[in-house]
Amino acid sequence: MLTRLVAAARAGRGGALVMAGEAGAGTTALLESALSASADVRVLRVAGALSERTLPFAALHRLCTPLRAEVDRLAEPLRSALLTLLTCRGADVAVDEQRVGVALVELLAHSSSRTPLVCVADDWRWWDAPSRRVLTFAARRIDALRCAVVFAVRDVQEHLELDGLPRLRLTTLGERDAAALLEARWRGPVDPGVRDRVVAEARGNLHALVTLPHAATPAALADGWGAVEGVRVDAQVVEAWARRSAVLPRPAQGFLLLAAEGYSSRAIRAHLRRRGIRATIPERRDQRDGRARRGQAGGRPPAFDPMIYKRRNVVERCFNRLKQFRAIATRYDKTALSYQAMIDLATLTLWL
């Protein structure tokens, strides 16, 4: 779809495409592959910045700056509408988003008249709201231009302004394809147990499958134990895995965090196991045995999730703040009703 979009834009049939996929799904690689094969196409790529998300028209300013020379060719009042954004001239005047949108369409028409133009809006979730509205307004009005607009998003359902635009959903790899990719990327012999474990942990994420083979040593891969312990996936992939746990009900998320904290109590661990929850920290006996065999790297289970382990602090901080109110439950009749009342009062106090 992306290749056809660029080819159509080159022929004067512009359009837009929404590419949706989690972090590490291959969106960036697919974009670079398609655009690098189109040497005669001019590419304007703007990635959203979290620090500028609250600044009106910040992303649009970055998109239009390379086209500054073309702005002067626009007729009034469209020229003034864009100059207000680019130069802050007349900044005290309210900005008409519809006029800016029409001006952007005209600017894209002038800029693509000689050379086909592809605008890539990356990290769409970090674009400021006015820029999102203006660019989607323009993207729906470039059918007769030599121009294409590509939106790279994580979850298209979060962005209502993209409704109605063509979509390309990048899915994760199946187990068979993931295993084949690992075998093609890994160097030297690989223990089957290590391969299966990495496939399970990566969950079909393309970036993770490409990164993991280079993060482990050949000796660790052939040995079959400890290969994944030394692997670190970048923050974007970790964040994507964390988002999967976010769709769980609140009680289930709480149990995940409790399991991540990994209390030493065998009773708590047994309760978690009965609910199908794996602790991310081994029991003390396993820790001692693991360190005796493998040093400081020992005792770490395969299910270790750095993002969930990091979020355990949310639970711990909540416990510590609730302890400030424990006198109600411990210094009076010490009944369950008093304890529940203490929890309710403390929750209301903290919330207010």
Q: How far is CA 12 from CA 113, 143, 170, 221, 283, in A?
A: 9, 8, 27, 52, 65
Q: With contact defined as beta carbons under 8 Å apart, do 286 and 234 qualify? A: no
Q: Does residue 325 contact residue 345 with C-beta atoms inside 8 Å?
A: yes
- Indicate if 111 and 221 belong to the same structural domain: no
**Predicted pLDDT at 118:** 92
Q: Which parts of the chain sit beneath pLDDT 50?
A: 223-234, 259-262, 295-302
Same domain, 183 and 248: no
d(CA 22, CA 29): 13
pLDDT (0 to 100) of residue 313 = 61
Q: Given the structure tokens 């929404």, which residue do they identify?
A: 18
Which of 233, 251, 282 is the endpoint of a domain? 233
Tell whether 53 and 194 lie within a shared domain.
no
- Name the domain boundary from 169, 189, 206: 169
Whether 42 contacts 118, CB under 8 Å: yes
Helix H or strand E segment including 126: none
How far is the C-alpha of 150 from the C-alpha of 41, rounded, in Å? Answer: 14
Tokens of 310: 């990091």
Range of the domain at 250: 234-318
pLDDT at site 282: 58
Q: What is the pLDDT of residue 274?
A: 72
Please indicate, yes or no, whether residues 158 and 36 belong to a single structural domain of this protein: yes
Residue 283's closest CA among 301, 256, 302, 304? 301
Q: CA nearest 57: which of 26, 33, 31, 81? A: 81
How high is the pLDDT of residue 329?
61
- Which of 169, 186, 203 corresponds to the end of one domain? 169
Do 278 and 343 belong together in one domain?
Answer: no
Bridge pairing between strands 117-122 and 167-169: unpaired
Of 98, 100, 106, 166, nearest to 142 by C-alpha is 106
- Residue-wise pLDDT for 101-154, tens only, equals 999 999 999 999 889 999 999 889 889 999 999 999 999 999 999 999 999 888
User: pTM value?
Assistant: 0.58
CATH number at residue 11: 3.40.50
Same domain, residue pair 131 and 154: yes
Please enumerate, as own/partner, the contacts of 110-113 that have beta carbons within 8 Å and a separation of 24 or more: 110/70, 110/73, 110/74, 111/42, 111/67, 111/70, 111/147, 112/9, 112/14, 112/42, 112/145, 112/146, 112/147, 113/146
Total domains present in the chain? 4
- Are 55 and 11 members of one domain? yes
Q: Which contacts qualify for 70-79: CB closer than 8 Å, 24 or more apart?
A: 70/107, 70/110, 70/111, 71/107, 73/110, 74/103, 74/106, 74/107, 74/110, 75/106, 78/102, 78/103, 78/106, 79/103
CB 229 within 8 A of CB 217: no
Amino acid letter, residue 55: L
Residues 180 and 301 in one domain: no
Determine the pLDDT at residue 145.
94
Q: Is there a single domain that holds both residue 153 and residue 189?
A: no
Note the pLDDT of residue 180: 77
Q: Does one domain contain both 26 and 154?
A: yes
Residues 200 and 238 in one domain: no
Q: 247: Cβ–Cβ under 8 A, 6 or more apart, which residues?
A: none
Q: Are residues 210 and 161 in the same domain?
A: no
CB 163 within 8 A of CB 20: no
Please state, in angstroms and as integers, the Cα–Cα distance from residue 118 to each residue in 35, 36, 134, 145, following that order: 9, 12, 16, 11
pLDDT reported for residue 343:
74
